[in-house]
Structure formats: structure tokens, C-alpha cells
Amino acid sequence: MTLVLRSVCCIAAASFLLFNCAGRKQSTPASSQLASTDSQGKELFTTHCVSCHAMEQEEIGPRLGGVTGVLSEKELVAFIKNPNHAIESGNARAVSLSKRYKMIMPPFDFLKDEEIRSILGYIASETKARNIAPLEVKIDTASNARLAQPVIKTGLRIELENFVTIPPSSDKMPRTRIANMRPHPSQDGTLYVSDQRGLIYRINGKDVTTFVDLRNEIEDFVNEPGLGTGLGSFAFHPDYLSNGLIYITHTEAPKGKRADYVYNDSIKVALQWVVSEWKIDDVKSQVFKGKRRELLRINVPNVVHGTQDIGFNPDAAKGDKDYGLLYIGTGDGGSTISKYPQLCHSLHSLLGTIIRIDPLGNNSKNGHYGIPADNPFVDEKGDIYKEIYAYGFRNPHRLAWHGGRLFSAEVGESNFEEVNVIVKGGDYGWNVREGNFGISSKDLKNVYPVPATESGKFEKPFLQYDHIDGNAISGGYVYEGPIAALKHKYIFGDIVNGRIFYGTIDPQLTDNSVYELTIVRDGKDTNLVEMSGSKRVDIRIEYNRYTGELYIMTKSDGKIRRVSKAYTLN
């Protein structure tokens, strides 16, 4: 079962569905109770499960085939609604699987019982048709060892105020899939927020209106299955006020359109990620009207880890080499979990890279954009992608600039979440490194210390935290606004549990510790689980560099909250 948050966060779902209740008689398995599959069950399975699971092979998570032969329907439904109970009860099988996958699935309590039964019915039907046996799990009684320095709890507190609530984009949870916020280049106070279902909203004061709806503009636009599909990111060109250019990334169903990055025909194309340029007719218009052109199209073998963020260096002034150059972060497209590790961690691939292009140029292979002359690999010989600025990423979730540095938050696999400082031409190691450790692409769960002879081969994370402390990083920004207690801090969070972290930014980046701050409401400590009313918070951190205002967005309730105050208690 996938989370409605992030692909990696779902991996424990089926794992725990496979547990046996130790010390008691086995109940009648669900497979004997569940009805045959129907179209609803397959549709729900596709929406909520296939990002992370297959029936017969391990992907991000374990295979699902056979799961309905282990427990009764009643037990399975109860688990899906409250998976943490299996761990808290000390069930040996569930605990062992949690150690392997290093996380616990938040509850799917937003699904109705009949929807869960439909999914289980589909799994049962597929299990029978393919004769799939349940997954065997080795019981692990060892303690779950910490691999990274613990997050340090501090006396720093923030207070949040309600800003706006984004309209629901679906009648199903999550009600919204809000992902990015950008201030208007005119600095007139208006903000623009994207919803992965294909919408960009304009916020003026407390008024929220639709600026553009991709669903009306793109014939093959898709925003499911998967947690990273749909409208990925958007960015205003630095000269937007004079040229009216906006850049947007999105997913399309593969319908035969030729991609700029392709691979062997024997490997399926699950989606195509597209980077396009949208030119508005009138930059003062409150609704987009104009035309678009395609810059880049990328085939991906899975529905995860796509082109999730793009941006221009806001510190670059006109005349600087970096001015007007678009950075595009693309994950490995699920190639590693789909058993095609050769498709990433290579200069011959656009998967797992941050590329740097001139969207107004034309010297690329397809002639739709330019490749800057000072890119790190422009003089390399052979069939490589000279667009690449840095590579070796699993999922460069968010990009942010500060003081001449580019920070990228890297969503990890099973052990670590990272913040990387991006250096020109740097290799960040995925899929043979995770955090400061080595990892085999054949088994993406276990890591090992890197030999001293190889310690300098890859760029190391600036910050990292263990999956004991969280599941999936939500990248942030270095705060330089009016609230003194937050200055010179890179503020970010964990997508799933909603904890808010920060790293200290000094000129030499000497402090590699991750710190946690606390949210206060009405004089009492609280958290985003309580505030949003959901155990699947799905946090995003956003920042208006023009005003210095910091925002916390939560998909589960569609709310955008603004940091109003921060202070430290000794």
C-alpha cells in the first residue's frame, strides 16, 4: 500500500500486512473471505500501491502477492487503518520487517472499509491467478542500530498563524497535493502555489484563485499513480516581467511521443517527465493565457523519483554567468528499485541528475534550449549529456540557493535523509552510496562502512538524519528574514511525521548537526500531526525571499501557515 505522501514511506505497508500473530491460532485468511477482484479494486490498487509494490517482486517495498493468505480480512483492514499497533504490540514478524525497511507506514484511515476490501480482493485474485506464495520473513531479534547522529532537540520554538486554505482538488484524501510556492517577481505580495493534480493558484491576500489548470492544457497529463507524479514544479524566469516566461514540469502518460532521454525498448516506460516553457500574453493578468513549448522530455521506468524541482539562482545578477540558467533536478525515475540500476549514476543518463540549461538558447541536441559553455562536462568526449551539472541522486526533492551555494534535499531509500551542498561536476553516489555509507544496488536496505581508500570518491552530505528520526526529507530554505531567532538556519522538515528541523549555516559550514525546533500554539507545545488532524502530515517548507516570510504547507488539510514568531527557551 502506498502512502499518499511519498513513495518510500509506503514500503513497510505490505511488510506488516504479512505478519503472523505470534502465540495464537491463525485466523481464517482473507483470501477465503474476499470476493473476486473488480474494477474499483484494481483502480485503488493502482492509485495507492504500485508506486512502491509489485505482486511478485520487491521494489521500494516488498511484494504484495500472497498477503491475503496470511491474515483474515478483519485483521488486514484493522492493520491498514492502524499499522503502528503491530509494532507497539511487539509482534516479532512485524518488528523484523520494520527493521529491514526502517520505517512504519502511517495509517490509511482515510480509506473506507469497502475500499480497503476492494484492494484486498484484487490482491487475492491476482495471488490466486498467479499462484503466489506469501513472503517469508527472517525474524530479527537484534536491536535497530542507529547509523547517523541523533537529531538534537533544542529550546527553539516557533508560533504559526493560519494564512490560507487551498481549495480541495479531489473528494478523496489527500484533499490537496500542494507542493511548491513562488512569490510573484513583481514583489507585489501575491504568491503562487502548485497542486500536483495540475493546478497553480494565485494568492492575493486571503483570496485564492486558479492561475492555470494543466488538465485543460495538456492532453495526456496524468497525476497518478504515484506520489511524485503530476505537476512537479514551476519557476518564473528572472526576466518574467519583460518576457512573461514560466517553466513547469509535469508527467504525461507514454503515448508514443519521442523522448530526449530514452533507453532499451525491453524496459517499460511508466511515465514521461516533460519540462516546458509557458509564455503569458500579459504579465499583469491574473489568469494564464498564452502558449507553451516543450524543452525536454524524459522517459522513466517507474512512477517515482521524477523531475520534482526546478529553479533559477536568485542570487545571480544580470551579467553573472549563472543568470537566467535553469536548474532541473530529476531523480532516478525508480530505475534502481525496478532493477535497472544502469539507467542512473551515469553521464550517459539524465536520471539521477541536476542539469543546468539556458532555456533561451538552442545548442542542445534537440535545439530547444542551450547548454552553458561553463557546464562541467561540456568538453567530455562521447555520447554524454553535457547538460549535467551534478549527478548521483536518488531524488533531489528541493533546490535552494544561499550565499552562492546550492542546497539540495535528497530523499533517501532505507537509512538516511540528506541535505547536500551541490558542487559543479560533483558525484553524490546514488546508487552505490547512501549517506556516508556504501550500499549495494541489489539490496537497497543494508549499508556498510566505506573503505578508507574510497572515502573521497563521492561528495558527502552536509546534513543527514537516520530513519529512526524520520522517513522522508522535505527540503527547505536558509532563513534571512526579520525573525532573529531563525536567521542563518536552513529550515526543513520530514514529510511524513511533520517534524521541523534546521541546520546552522556559517561561512565554512562547520556544523553538520541536525536540530529540531518545537511548534507552540496557545502557550503549549504541539505538532503538525495535531494541527493538521492527520498522521500523514505531508509537510512542505516555503519561503518568500522578498519579504522574509516562512510558510509551512500541509497537504492533508490544504492549509498554509505562516511563521509569526520564534524564540528560544533556555
Exposed, middle or buried by CB within 10 Å (0-12, 13-18, 19+), for 149?
middle
- Helix axis angle for 39-48 and 113-130, nearest 10°, is 100
The more confidently predicted of residues 526 and 77 is 526
Residues 328-343: what's their mean pLDDT? 95
pLDDT for 17: 44
Question: Does the pLDDT of residue 5 top 70, yes or no?
Answer: no
Question: Does the pLDDT of residue 15 top 70, yes or no?
Answer: no
Query: Strands 191-195 and 178-183, how do they pair?
Result: antiparallel
pLDDT for 140: 63
**Residue 4's Cα: distance from chain center in Å?**
11
Question: Does the pLDDT of residue 91 top 70, yes or no?
Answer: no
Q: What is the dotted CATH code of the domain comprising 7-130?
A: 1.10.760.10
Q: What is the pLDDT of residues 49-90, one digit of tens each?
A: 776 677 877 766 677 888 888 778 887 888 787 776 666 666
Question: Does the pLDDT of residue 187 top 50, yes or no?
Answer: yes
Contact indicator for 473, 411 with CB cutoff of 8 Å: yes
**92-106, 124-138, 144-158, 216-230: segment of lowest average pLDDT:** 92-106
Residues 220-234: what's their mean pLDDT? 92
Q: What is the pLDDT of residues 389-404, one digit of tens each?
A: 999 999 999 999 999 9
Q: Any idea which residue has 545548442 for its cell? A: 363
107: confidence class by pLDDT, cuts 50, 70, 90:
confident
CA dist 6 and 175 (Å) reads: 15
34: confidence class by pLDDT, cuts 50, 70, 90:
low
CA dist 316 and 305 (Å) reads: 28
Give the side-chain half-sphere CA count within 13 A for 127: 24
- C-alpha cell recorded at residue 378: 561540456
Question: Does the pLDDT of residue 28 top 50, yes or no?
Answer: yes
Q: Torsions phi, psi of 31, nearest 5?
A: -60, -25
pLDDT for 73: 84
**Residue 10's Cα: distance from chain center in Å?**
12
pLDDT for 568: 96
Question: Does the pLDDT of residue 6 top 50, yes or no?
Answer: no
CA dist 204 and 370 (Å) reads: 35
Q: How many other C-beta atoms can be found within 10 angstroms of the C-beta atom of residue 78?
A: 16
pLDDT for 81: 78
Could you give the angle at the alpha carbon of 411 between the alpha carbons of 480 and 470, nearest 5°? 85
pLDDT for 27: 57
pLDDT for 10: 47
14: confidence class by pLDDT, cuts 50, 70, 90:
very low
The more confidently predicted of residues 547 and 105 is 547
**Residue 213's Cα: distance from chain center in Å?**
22
Question: Does the pLDDT of residue 241 top 50, yes or no?
Answer: yes
Q: State which H helix or E strand residue 532 sits in.
A: helix 528-532
> Domain extents for the chain?
7-130, 152-568
Q: What is the pLDDT of residues 347-368, one digit of tens each?
A: 999 999 999 999 999 999 999 9
Residues 239-261: what's their mean pLDDT? 97
Q: What is the pLDDT of residues 504-523, one digit of tens each?
A: 999 999 999 999 999 999 99
CA dist 395 and 548 (Å) reads: 27
- C-alpha cell recorded at residue 413: 531509500
Nearest alpha carbon to residue 302 among 528, 2, 29, 529: 2
Q: Torsions phi, psi of 295, nearest 5?
A: -100, -45
Please tell me the pTM assigned to this model. Answer: 0.88
Contact indicator for 557, 165 with CB cutoff of 8 Å: yes
275: confidence class by pLDDT, cuts 50, 70, 90:
very high
Q: State which H helix or E strand residue 179 sits in.
A: strand 178-183
> What is the SS3 string spanning 402-458?
ECCEEEEEECCCCCEEEEEEECCCCECCCCCEECCEEEECCEEEEEEECCHHHCCCC
Q: State which H helix or E strand residue 242 sits in.
A: helix 240-243
301: confidence class by pLDDT, cuts 50, 70, 90:
very high
Mean pLDDT of the residues in the chain: 89
Q: State which H helix or E strand residue 76 sits in.
A: helix 73-81
Sign of CA dihedral 44, 48, 54, 56: negative
Residues 284-311: what's their mean pLDDT? 97
pLDDT for 370: 98
pLDDT for 62: 74
CATH class, 152-568 region? mainly beta
pLDDT for 443: 82
Contact indicator for 123, 18 with CB cutoff of 8 Å: no
Asked whether the bond before 482 is cis by omega within 30 degrees of 0, the reply is no
Strand order in the sheet with 309-312: 309-312, 326-330, 353-357, 388-391
Residues 522-543: what's their mean pLDDT? 94
- Give the 3-state secondary structure of residue 42: helix
